[in-house]
Amino acid sequence: MAKVPTFKPGQKVPKSSQAEIIGPRGGRTGQERTVVKGERFPPTPKPGQTYQIADPTKH
């Protein structure tokens, strides 16, 4: 199974989408943020969390 890429806060967003916050040990938090291509991922609520593209924008 291919590993889904994760992104750290502050990295450039590759594609406009909904990005889910992933916990420090890889667990899903159920929280999502709307991110726009070319901007940077916002800070996460807790240290060690990352983002994973959950639902790419359809336009």
State pTM to two decimals.
Answer: 0.89
Could you state, in order of their start, the residue ranges of all structural domains in the chain? 1-9+16-36+44-59
pLDDT single digits (tens) 46-57: 999 999 999 988
For residue 26, give the nearest of 43, 45, 51 by alpha carbon: 51
- Mean pLDDT, the chain, as a whole number? 93
pLDDT single digits (tens) 7-26: 999 999 999 999 999 999 99
| Ordered DSSP codes for 1-53 | -PPPP-B-TTSBPSS-EEEEEE-TTS-EEEEEEEE-TTSBPPPPSSTT-EEEE
For 58, the token pair is: 């359809």
pLDDT value at position 50? 97
For residue 33, give the nearest of 47, 46, 20 by alpha carbon: 20
